[in-house]
Structure 1
Amino acid sequence: MSKVEIFDPAMCCPTGVCGPSVDPELTRVASAVFTLEKKGFNIKRYQLTTDPAKFVENSEVNKVLHEKGPEGLPVILLNNQLVKVAGYPSNEELAQWFDLTPEELNEKPKARLPINLKKQ
């Protein structure tokens, strides 16, 4: 099974999907990661602000940071191999890595709300 690790730049929150103006690319990535996690796939995101040790411990990521600085982020590893620098994977790339169709990553999560119809 594939393992994907996303090393994000410093952001205001774990997904970067917050604040007054939300970057659509971060929304897409957050949604794809959420879908993959719910399907049981091995995908992890690390943020420079909250997980600095992960950036230091990984020699590939550390090398990118030394050569390119924070402009080299995000860094994407597939099975511990560097596959992308300074950009997020497309849904097509993620689908290929996890043997899915891109459409499976475009599915919107279904909210499940409990409804109690009994009178109190």
Structure 2
Amino acid sequence: MPSIQIFDPALCCSSGVCGQDVDAHLVQASADVDWAKGLGAQIERFNLARQPMAFVENPAVRRLLERSGQEALPITLVDGEVALAGRYPSRQQLGQWSNVAAPAATASSCCGGGNCG
């Protein structure tokens, strides 16, 4: 199974629900990572505030940060190669990269294309 590494900006927590300002994108990203891990995906996350050496010691991450600065964060690597920078991967991307399938939407679900009227 491919290895996925996500290099987060400096965060107080990886869930996005700490402090007074909840980051909805970070909450969704954390849920998507947990979903993929639950299906067996190998995903590691690194926080710039807590694990700065992981950023320095990874050549791909270091080069991208040298070129683009912290705006490149978050950075997602798949098997050591940059797959995404500047935003978190979607559930679909995590499923594709880790070879786990995203659940199919059902017609009876409002989120799956049904009528919610």
TM-score (norm 2): 0.80
RMSD: 1.5
Q: 1: CA distance between counterparts of 2:37 and 2:103?
A: 16
| Structure 1: runs of 5 or more not aligned | 105-120
Q: CA deviation at 1:99?
A: 2.1
Matches within 5 A, 1:71-82: 71-82=71-82
Q: 2: CA distance between counterparts of 1:61 and 1:17?
A: 26
The yes-or-no answer on 1:24 pairing with 2:24 is yes
The structure number with the bigger radius of gyration is 1
Instruction: State the secondary structure of the residue aligned to 1:13.
Output: coil
Q: Which amino acid aligns with 1:92?
A: Q
Q: CA deviation at 1:13?
A: 1.7
| Structure 2: runs of 5 or more not aligned | 105-117
Q: Give aligned-pair identity as a percent.
A: 37
Partner of 1:117: none
Partner of 1:94: 94
Moved >3 Å (runs of 4+): none
TM-score (norm 1): 0.78
Partner of 2:83: 83
Partner of 1:57: 57
Q: Which amino acid aligns with 2:44?
A: K
Q: 2: CA distance between counterparts of 1:47 and 1:17?
A: 15
Q: 2: CA distance between counterparts of 1:23 and 1:16?
A: 5
Q: CA deviation at 1:14?
A: 3.3
Q: Which amino acid aligns with 2:17?
A: V
Q: Which amino acid aligns with 1:40?
A: G
Q: 1: CA distance between counterparts of 2:28 and 2:20?
A: 17
Q: Which amino acid aligns with 2:53?
A: A
Partner of 2:115: none
